[in-house]
Amino acid sequence: MMTPFYKYGLFGDEVSLLVAFLLGLGFGFFLERAGFGSARKLAAQFYLYDMSVFKVMFTAIVTAMLGVTYLGWLGWLDLDLVYLVPTNLGPQIVGGLVLGVGFVVGGYCPGTSVAALATGRLDAVVYALGIFAGTFVYAEVYPAIQGFVNANAMGQVTLPEVFELPWGLVVFAVVVMAVVGFWGATLIERRFRSEP
């Protein structure tokens, strides 16, 4: 039983598009369940009285991370075949900063904006239009900034590889950090909610 199924030829491109839709269905469902169809709830993360973004994001990461770890360990998933976005440290650091600013200014990220506009948020529609505009500008300036965009290429690397630590140790560390982080986040929430 080798997975990823698609990479072993179990189904072709057409079916994978259907799978994409179904996965998106689950994705959007849980995003909205968590309240991420609301810009105010999302932005609240950065005002410290609602740390749901942090909690949801890292719970998802820990869940999937433990999942691939155990499935790979059991030999049920070929982890080498799961696509890893190549690392380009410089642009990704800058991109993260810009995205963070965009998050607080706009109130969404691309995925949550889709979830929000589907539930009727007009600001999410405008936000999505902004993404289109921004993408267009980016595409126009891309030839000029190409050098930077492709800088610091490290290929497909994982944290265990770069720090030369066993995979399991990094997994454990992430779990511990997450649990401690959640406990701390709850404390922070209580503190900032009691303030006027």
Partner 1 sequence: MPPGAGAGPGSPYLNPYLAGMGLGLVLLAAFVLVGRGLGASGAFSSTLSWLVNLVAPAHAQANLYMQDYLGDGTTHPLKAWLVFEVVGVAAGALLSGLLAGRARFTVEKGPRVSTAIRLVCAFAGGILMAFGAHLARGCTSGQALTGGALLNVGSWAFMLMVFVGGYAVAWFMRWQWR
Partner 2 sequence: MRVPQLTLNQKLAAVALALGAVALFSQPHRGPFVKLDARELALVVEQEVDHVKPAELAAWIVEGRSDYRLIDLRTTDEFAAYHIPTAENAQLPELADYPLLRNEKIVLYSEGGIHSAQAWLLLRAQGYEGVYTVLGGLDGWKDEVLFPVLPVDAGPRDRAQFERAAALAQFFGGQPRTAGAAAAEAPATALPKLTAPVATGPAVPAAPRKKKKEGC
Binders in 152-191 for partner 1, by CB under 8 A: 154, 156-162, 167, 170-171, 174, 182
Choose, by CB under 8 A, the member of 73, 134, 169, 187 that binds partner 1.
Answer: 134
Reported residue count of the chain is 196
From 24-32, 39-47, 64-72, 120-128, span contacting partner 2 (CB under 8 A): 64-72
Residue 189 Cβ vs partner 1, minimum distance, rounded to whole Å: 9
Q: What angle in degrees, to the nearest 10, is found between the helix axes of 89-106 and 122-149?
A: 160
The DSSP call for residue 164 is: T
Instruction: Rule CB under 8 A: say whether 178 interacts with partner 2.
Output: yes
CA-based nearest residue to 111, from 64, 55, 53: 53
Contact 97, 82 (CB under 8 A): no
Nearest Cα to Cα of residue 109 among 23, 22, 41: 41
Q: Are strands 87-88 and 153-155 parallel, antiparallel or unpaired?
A: antiparallel
* Interface positions, 103-162, toward partner 2 (CB under 8 A): none
**CB contact at 8 A, 54 and 45:** yes
Least Å from the CB of residue 184 to partner 1: 14
User: What mask, x for binding partner 1 by CB under 8 A, covers residues 90 to 119?
Assistant: -xxxxxxxxxxxxxxxxxxxxxxxxxxxxx
Q: Among 9, 12, 26, 75, which residue sits at the site for partner 1 (rule: CB under 8 A)? A: 26
Site for partner 2 in 11-50 (CB under 8 A): none
Q: Which of 108, 88, 87 is nearest to 31 (CA)?
A: 108
Phi, psi values for residue 60, rounded to 5°? -60, -45
Is residue 70 near partner 2 by the rule CB under 8 A? yes
Going by C-beta distance under 8 Å and a sequence separation of 6 or more, which residues neighbour residue 106?
39, 113, 127, 130
Which one, 86 or 184, has the nearer CB to partner 1?
86
Contact stretch for partner 2 (CB under 8 A) within 88-96, 118-126, 145-153, 179-187:
179-187
Residue 128's binding partner out of partner 1, partner 2, none, with CB under 5 to 8 Å set by partner kind: partner 1
Binding site for partner 2 (CB under 8 A): 2, 7-9, 62, 66, 68-73, 77-81, 83, 85, 166-169, 171-172, 174-176, 178-179, 182-183
